[in-house]
Each structure stands twice: as structure tokens, then as C-alpha cells.
């Protein structure tokens, strides 16, 4: 998922989407997963020179990725969709009334885990696989990937509001997936989200992905383990709770009764009640496909 937090930062993407031909290219890649330049040119009845120009624009915007492979007729350029979703935040007029914090995935304040489980920094595994004791290791703060079959990770979010300010929306963005021994692309898991102990809803992760190597994974990370997740955006405001724009519950900020003195805790959990209880994995900026930690964003109102 590409998340455009303000309109100006998305100019290159908007330019790339301004062409009907480039929209058709994205549709073809979405339906076919991967196509080379000759295949795209044939399907769109364009010359190779024309298709190359459009592909370059899409690649520069970050919407597609190009890999080279050796085929029967020499080196081929294979095109893929780089992200599966695009979200644009149009409320740029409120940009001054917000703050953002990035929290390392290992900087949890509370946890409960069951094997299979483990955690690793960008340099090495911490302790041993499937031993929950290492979740208390001081080095866990530097973790860049964490996985567990059942339980939760809880994070404390700083509250910087002043007495004349009130919460309008809280957002959490993270790369997550299921947790299978090794990996399994078809391995659905119901992952629940909580704010200050109040259940916001859940998202069903389709799998624990390992078909291709994660873009940011360190070289030492074994290929037979999970490689990447999906980028998810959780939002809670006075209209309800949402994930990637889709409502997951009617829980609102008003119901949680936050103010400038409130502590903020965000919990990601696999509980004993899901239909699909197949764990969770969370990726930091040195693992997976998105190069980011857990991101928290607070939007607020100011009373005159």
C-alpha cells in the first residue's frame, strides 16, 4: 500500500496516473501479476519505444517494479505492481494540527506470546527460536521483525496534547502478516487491534508470505522463513474504526474517552477466539517490503 499523507508529496504519482495508457498498464499488471515489455506493447497495440516511456514514468513514481530475467530471446524486463493499494489523505488543511511518531517494533511495553515465536534485529536472531523468555531480553528493543502464534504486543504511544486540544483521529500504520512455521502464502489469521484496552476490530491476514525475498531483508535472513507482510492503516475517529478505509467496527474515540492526560496503548493480538488463529508477524524498517516501523499519527482539534 502507498499512503500519501499530503497532496504535495503525491505529485509524481498523480502525474503517472494522468495517462489513460498508464492506467491500462496498471490494470493489466493487476490482472496478470507480471508481464514483460513486449507483452504489454502487444496487448496495448503500442510500439516498444512508446511502452518504454510509460513504464519509466510508472517506475519513477513507485507504482511498478521492473526486474530483468534471461529468456529465450535474451534479457527481458519483467514488470510487476509494486504496491496493491493507494490511499490519499485529502485533509491537507489540517496538517498543522497533528503529530507523528515512529516506534521500533521491538519497543513494546507489554507482551504475551506462544510458540512458534521469535524476534530478530537487522544483524541476528535474539536468543533461540520458539522460546518466549527472549521477549524480555534487553536487546529486544532493537528488534526489526517479531513473530508469534498466539498472544499480543502492546505499544505505548506518547500523548503530546495540551489542555486546550482534543483528539480528532488516531492512526496506526504497520507491515504485518500471519505466522506459519517457515512460511505459507495461504495461511489466514485474524489479527485484532485495541486502543486503551478497547477492541477496535480485526483484519484477516491472508498469509505468511515467503514466495519472494523481502525488499529490505538483511542478506543473512534465511530464504525458507517469512519474507514480507502487508501494509495496513488503522484509523479511529468519531465516525468509527477503519482499516484501509473499510469500517471494522462502530467504536469511536468518544467511547474511549480520551483527553490530554490520557495514556495511550495500542495492542496487536491473536486471541483465543478467532476462527483463523494463525499468529502474527510485524516487520520493522529493515525487514519486509515497506522500510518503516510502527507509525502512529494523532490528529487533534484546538479550542480557541
- Show pLDDT as tens, one digit a residue, over the chain (304 residues): 677 766 766 778 888 899 999 999 999 998 887 899 999 999 999 998 899 999 999 988 889 988 887 766 677 889 988 877 777 766 555 557 999 999 999 999 999 999 999 999 999 999 999 999 999 999 999 999 999 999 999 999 999 999 999 999 999 999 999 999 999 999 999 999 999 999 999 999 999 999 899 989 999 999 999 999 999 999 999 999 999 989 999 999 999 999 999 999 999 999 987 789 999 999 999 999 888 999 999 999 998 7
- 96-302 is classed in which CATH architecture? Sandwich (2.60)
Dihedral sign (CA 158, 163, 165, 167): positive
Closest Cα partner for 58 from 31, 89, 27?
Answer: 27
Q: How far is it, in rounded angstroms, from Cα 83 to Cα 16?
A: 14
What pLDDT does 252 receive? 97
Given this model, what pLDDT does residue 61 score? 87
What pLDDT, on the 0 to 100 scale, is given for residue 155? 98
How high is the pLDDT of residue 120? 98
Domain ranges of the chain: 2-81, 96-302
Helix (H, G, I), strand (E, B) or coil at 213: coil
- CA–CA separation, 52 and 21 (whole Å): 12
Whole-prediction pTM: 0.75
The CATH T-level fold of domain 2-81 is: Arc Repressor Mutant, subunit A (1.10.10)
- Predicted local distance difference test score (pLDDT) of residue 58: 92
Amino acid at each position: 500500500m502507498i499512503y500519501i499523507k499530503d497532496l504535495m508529496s503525491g505529485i509524481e504519482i498523480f502525474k503517472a496516473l494522468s495517462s489513460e495508457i498508464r492506467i491500462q498498464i496498471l490494470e493489466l499488471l493487476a490482472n496478470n501479476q507480471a508481464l514483460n515489455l513486449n507483452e504489454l506493447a502487444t496487448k496495448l497495440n503500442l510500439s516498444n519505444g512508446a511502452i518504454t516511456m510509460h513504464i519509466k514514468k510508472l517506475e519513477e513514481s513507485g507504482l511498478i517494479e521492473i526486474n530483468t530475467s534471461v529468456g529465450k530471446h535474451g534479457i527481458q524486463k519483467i514488470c510487476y505492481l509494486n504496491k496493491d493499494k493507494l490511499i490519499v489523505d485529502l485533509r491537507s488543511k489540517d496538517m498543522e494540527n497533528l503529530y507523528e511518531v515512529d516506534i521500533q517494533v521491538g519497543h513494546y511495553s507489554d507482551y504475551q506470546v506462544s510458540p512458534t515465536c521469535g524476534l530478530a534485529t537487522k544483524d541476528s536472531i535474539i536468543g533461540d527460536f520458539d522460546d518466549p523468555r527472549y521477549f524480555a531480553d534487553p536487546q529486544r528493543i532493537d528488534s526489526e521483525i517479531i513473530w508469534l502464534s498466539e498472544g499480543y504486543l502492546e505499544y505505548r504511544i506518547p500523548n503530546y496534547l495540551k489542555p486546550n486540544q482534543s483528539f480528532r483521529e488516531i492512526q496506526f500504520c504497520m507491515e504485518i502478516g500471519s505466522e506459519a512455521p517457515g512460511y505459507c502464502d495461504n495461511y489466514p489469521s485474524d489479527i485484532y487491534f485495541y486502543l486503551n484496552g478497547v477492541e477496535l476490530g480485526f483484519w484477516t491476514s491472508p498469509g505468511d508470505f515467503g514466495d519472494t525475498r523481502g525488499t529490505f531483508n538483511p542478506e543473512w535472513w534465511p530464504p525458507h522463513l517469512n519474507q514480507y507482510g502487508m501494509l495496513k492503516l488503522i484509523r479511529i475517529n468519531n465516525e468509527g474504526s477503519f482499516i484501509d478505509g473499510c469500517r471494522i467496527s462502530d467504536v469511536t474515540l468518544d467511547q474511549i474517552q480520551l483527553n490530554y492526560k490520557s495514556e495511550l496503548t495500542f495492542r496487536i493480538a491473536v486471541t483465543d477466539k478467532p476462527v483463523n488463529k494463525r499468529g502474527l508477524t510485524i516487520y520493522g524498517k529493515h525487514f519486509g517490503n515497506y522500510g518503516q516501523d510502527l507509525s502512529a499519527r494523532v490528529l487533534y482539534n484546538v479550542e480557541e
